[in-house]
Amino acid sequence: MSETETAALTSSATPPLAPLLLGHPTDAELTHQLISPVWTPRSRPAWLAAFGVAALGTTLLLYAVTVTVWKGIGVWGNNIPVAWAFGIINFVWWIGIGHAGTFISAILLLLEQRWRTSINRFTEAMTLFAVVQAGLFPLLHLGRPWFFYWLVPYPATMQAWPNFRSALPWDAAAVFTYFTVSLVFWYLGLLPDLAKLRDAAPGRTRRMIYGIFALGFRGSLEQHRHYRLLYGLLAGLATPLVLSVHSIVSADFAITLVPSWHSTIFPPFFVAGAIFSGFAMVVTLLVPIRRIFGLENVITLRHLDNLAKMMLVTSWIVIYSYLIEDFIAWYSGSPYEKYQFFVARPFAPGSMVFWTMQVCNILVPQLLWWRRVRASPGLLVVIAVLVNVGMWSERFVIIVLSLQRDYLPSSWADYAPTRVDIALFVGTMGFFMLLFLAFLRLFPFIPVAEVAELSHELRAEEKV
Amino acid sequence: MRAGVLGELMTPEAMVAAIVGLRARGYRRIDAFSPYPVHGAEEAAEMKRSRIDWIVFPFALAGAGAAYLLQWYCNAFDYPLNVGGRPLHSAPAFIPITFEMGVLTAAIVGLIVYFALTGLPELWSPVFEVEGFERASIDRFWVGVDAGDPRFDRAAVEQALVELGAARVAWAGPRWAP
C-alpha cells in the first residue's frame, strides 16, 4: 500500500501511519547494515556487561539444578496441598512468552501483515529460547529427570505404557512438537540469510562455518519456489499448533477438580494470556536492541505502535476472561468457587500477588489507549515489564492461591518458595538472556532477505 | 545447475525480463539466482506451483494416524487400565497427541522433502566458482541457461544474455566444456 493510499484509508482526523522502512537504502546498503552486527559488534562494553550478568544467571541456574537433582525436589517449597508451585508457574509463564513469537512469525504471515517482517526472526528466537526454559521445569519436577523417557511409549521391561488419557503426556507431546516445529521454522527462515553470511564473510573460517550451516543455499528459482511454499506451509501448521500448546497446558488444570481450575474457559483464557505476555516480552527485548544496534530505520515507531496495540487487545481478552471467571463462579452457586474467587484470592495469604496482577494486567495496559504512550519506547518498556510481572502473578494466583484453599479447610496450608525455587527462576532468566545475546552476535536477527524483498516492494509501489 | 552460462543483472525487473527473453529465444532449461524470491520470475520461467504440500499431506495423516493407533494400542488393547471407570478407548483424550504428532511429522517431512527436491545440502556448486557470484545473495541477480538445454550453444547464449542487459557473462562448470 502506498503512502497516499494509506493516508486515504485512515480517516482525515488521524495522522498517517509511520512508514515500515525509513529511507531508500539500496539492497547492498540494507544487507550490509543488517548483517554488520555479526562481524562488528556494537557497544562492546555494554554487551559484555550484559553477557556477564547472563552468564552469572546461568551459573546460578546450574547450581540450582544441581541442588535439585542431587537432593531431590524436597528442596522446593511446594508440598501438599500446594503441590504445584514455582515449577509450574514458571513453565506456564515461559511457554506463554514463546507464543507471541509464533504468533508474529506464523499468524501474521498468513494474515499478510508486512510489519512482522522486521521482527519475526527475533521473536522466533525468543520463542525457541523461552521454550527451552519452560521445558526445564516439568523435567525437573519429574523428580528423577533422568527417567524422562518413561513418558515415551517404548516397549519397556516394566511392561507398562504411559496413560494417554491424562493431560501430562499431552503436555510432553505438545511442548516437544512446539520446540521442534519452531526450530524447523526458524532454521528454514534463516537459510537465505546464512547464505548471505557465507558470501559476505570477511574470513575463510567464518565463510566455512556459515557455509556449512547455509547447506549450499544459493537462491535458485527451484530453491525459492519450494521454499516459499514450505515456509507458508509451516506457518499454516504453526498457527493451530500455537493455539493447541497453551490449550493443552491449560488442560493440565482444567481436567482436575480444584475450584477455579475445572472450567471450560481455560484454553482460550490461557492462549490469550500467553500472547499478551509474549508481546510484552517482545517489546521488552526489542526496544533496547533497536536502540543499541541503531535499527530505527527498520524497526520503526509503526512496529512499536502495532505491538502496543496487540498488547492492548490481548489485555482486553484477558480482562474479559477474568470477568467471565468471576461471573461463572457466582452463577455456579458452588460455595467453593465463590469462596475461591471472592474471599481467598483478594484476602487470603498471598493476596498481594493477586492485587499486583489486577494492577499490572488490567490497569497498566490501559495507558496504551494513548497514541503518545505508544510512540514512546521508554514508556512501552516500562508497561511491558509490568505486564510480564502481572502475567507471572496471574499464574501464581491460579496455581498457588487455588491450591492453598480448596474444599477442606482442614487441609488448607500456606505456601512460600525456597531459595532454590527463586534461584531456578532467576537462573532461567539468565540462561534466556545468555542464549539471546549469543544469538544477537552470531546471526542476523533481522531477516535480511525478507526486509530486502519488502524494501523492493515498497519502492515499486511508490513508483506506481 | 551443473554447467551453463550465467549473466549478471542489476535489478529483479531485469532478471524477469531476461528470463522472458531467453524463453522467447527458445531456451527451456533456465535458472536464476536472486537474494530474495522475485515476483513473476517463476511464472516467467513457466514453472508450476510447488507440490511440497501434496507430498507432505499423506505423511502428516500417517503420523497422526500412527499416534492415534499407538495410544489405542497402549491404553485400550495391550494394557487396559481402569482409571476411575473411564472408557479405555476414549477418543477425545487421544486427539491432542494425534494432532501434535500430525503437525510434527508434517514439519519434519516437509524439511526433508525440501532438501530432496532442491538437492540440498550441497556445500559446493560450480556456480560458486563464478567471479562475482557471491553478490547473488546480496544485490545481484544472475540468470543462466543450463548446458543440458537442447538448444544450448555457448556463444549464442552469451550473446543473448548481453542483449538482455547482463553486465557480465560467465561460464559455470568444468573447464573443458564447450
Would strands B141-146 and B30-33 be described as parallel, antiparallel, or unpaired? antiparallel
Provide the shortest C-alpha distance from residue B131 to chain A (in Å).
Answer: 12
pLDDT tens track, chain A, 464 positions: 444 444 444 444 455 667 777 777 788 888 888 888 888 776 678 788 989 999 999 999 999 999 999 999 999 999 989 999 999 999 999 999 999 888 888 888 888 888 888 888 889 999 999 999 999 999 999 989 999 898 888 888 888 888 898 888 999 999 999 999 999 999 999 999 999 999 888 889 999 999 999 999 988 999 999 999 999 999 999 999 999 999 999 999 998 899 899 999 999 999 999 999 999 999 999 998 888 888 888 889 999 999 999 999 999 999 999 999 999 999 999 999 999 999 999 998 889 999 999 999 999 999 999 999 999 999 999 999 999 999 999 999 999 999 999 899 998 999 999 999 999 999 999 999 999 999 988 888 888 888 888 888 888 887 76
Give chain A positions within 8 Å (CB) of B109: none
Q: Is A456's CB within 8 Å of B36's CB?
A: yes
Q: Is B42's CB within 8 Å of A224's CB?
A: yes
Task: Give me the helices (H) in A103-219, please.
Answer: 108-110, 120-141, 167-200, 204-214
**Strand, coil or helix: B143:** strand
Q: What is the pLDDT of residue A241?
A: 93
Give chain A positions within 8 Å (CB) of B76: none
Query: Residue A24, Cβ neighbours under 10 Å: how many?
Result: 11
Q: Is A161's CB within 8 Å of B135's CB?
A: no
Round to the nearest angstrom and report the end-to-end CA distance of chain B: 15
Domain ranges of chain B: 4-49+125-172, 52-118
**Backbone phi, psi, residue B132, to 5°:** 90, -5
**Strand, coil or helix: B7:** strand
**Backbone phi, psi, residue B10, to 5°:** -95, -30
**Strand, coil or helix: B152:** coil
Assigned CATH class of A44-151+164-463: mainly alpha
Q: A366-397 in b/e burial notation, b at 16+ Cβ within 10 A?
A: ebbeeeeebebbebbbebbbbbbbbbbbbbbb
DSSP character at residue A143: S
Query: Residue A398, Cβ neighbours under 10 Å: how many?
Result: 26
With CA atoms as reference, report the closest residue to A54 among A428, A389, A382. Answer: A428
Selected residue of A181, A209, A230 to mutate for chain B interface (largest B Cβ count, 10 A): A230
Taking residues B140-166, report their average pLDDT: 88
User: CA-to-CA distance for A259 and A340, rounded, in angstroms?
Assistant: 7
Distances (CA, A) of A352 to A74, A356, A393: 26, 6, 9
ipTM of this predicted complex?
0.93
Show which of residues 171-210 on chain A sit within 8 Å of chain B, judged by CB atoms: 173-174, 176-177, 180-181, 184-185, 188, 192, 195-196, 198-200
Show which of residues 20-39 on chain B sit within 8 Å of chain A, judged by CB atoms: 30-39
Q: Is B137's CB within 8 Å of A180's CB?
A: no
DSSP labels, A42-104: SSHHHHHHHHHHHHHHHHHHHHHHHHHHHH-GGGSS-BTTB-SSHHHHHHHHHHHHHHHHHII
Nearest to A181 among B78, B104, B136 (CB): B104
With CA atoms as reference, report the closest residue to A295 among A453, A125, A76, A444. Answer: A444
Nearest to B35 among A27, A184, A185 (CB): A27
Nearest CA in chain A to B131: A199
Nearest CA in chain A to B48: A225
A159 touches chain B (CB under 8 A): yes
Q: What is the pLDDT of residue B177?
A: 54
Q: Are A20 and A454 in contact (CB under 8 A)?
A: yes
Unique residue bearing C-alpha cell 501430562: A168
Nearest to B50 among A162, A215, A229 (CB): A229
B142 has which bridge partners?
Answer: B8, B33
Helices A120-141 & A266-292 angle (0-180, nearest 10) = 130
Provide the shortest C-alpha distance from residue A200 to chain B (in Å).
Answer: 7
**Backbone phi, psi, residue A79, to 5°:** -160, 170
Give chain A positions within 8 Å (CB) of B118: 220, 222-223, 226-227
User: CA-to-CA distance for A234 and A243, rounded, in angstroms?
Assistant: 14
User: CA-to-CA distance for A133 and A150, rounded, in angstroms?
Assistant: 21
Selected residue of A225, A247, A250 to mutate for chain B interface (largest B Cβ count, 10 A): A225
Q: What is the pLDDT of residue B83?
A: 83
A164 touches chain B (CB under 8 A): yes
Provide, for chain B, the percentages of residues in helix, strand and coil under a 3-state DSSP scheme, each rounded to the nearest 5.
50, 10, 35
Give chain A positions within 8 Å (CB) of B59: none
A288 touches chain B (CB under 8 A): no
Show which of residues 124-153 on chain A sit within 8 Å of chain B, judged by CB atoms: 153
Q: What is the pLDDT of residue A1?
A: 42
B95 touches chain A (CB under 8 A): no
With CA atoms as reference, report the closest residue to A172 among A146, A196, A153, A194. Answer: A153
User: CA-to-CA distance for A254 and A256, rounded, in angstroms?
Assistant: 5
Q: Is A221's CB within 8 Å of B117's CB?
A: no
User: CA-to-CA distance for B35 and A37, rounded, in angstroms?
Assistant: 19
Can you read off the three cell numbers belonging to residue A29? 546498503
A235 touches chain B (CB under 8 A): no
Selected residue of B104, B112, B125, B129 to mutate for chain A interface (largest A Cβ count, 10 A): B104
Provide the shortest C-alpha distance from residue A330 to chain B (in Å).
Answer: 29
Q: What is the pLDDT of residue A15?
A: 56
Provide the shortest C-alpha distance from residue B66 to chain A (in Å).
Answer: 12
Provide the shortest C-alpha distance from residue B176 to chain A (in Å).
Answer: 24
Residues ≥6 apart with Cβ < 8 Å to A20: A114, A115, A117, A118, A300, A302, A303, A454, A458
Nearest CA in chain A to B95: A170
Q: What is the pLDDT of residue A8?
A: 42
Q: What is the pLDDT of residue A324?
A: 95
Taking residues B51-76, report their average pLDDT: 95
Q: Is A226's CB within 8 Å of B52's CB?
A: yes
B61 touches chain A (CB under 8 A): no
Nearest to B35 among A221, A241, A449 (CB): A449
Provide the shortest C-alpha distance from residue B130 to chain A (in Å).
Answer: 12
Nearest to A219 among B45, B75, B137 (CB): B137
Q: What is the pLDDT of residue A223?
A: 92
Nearest to A224 among B1, B37, B135 (CB): B37
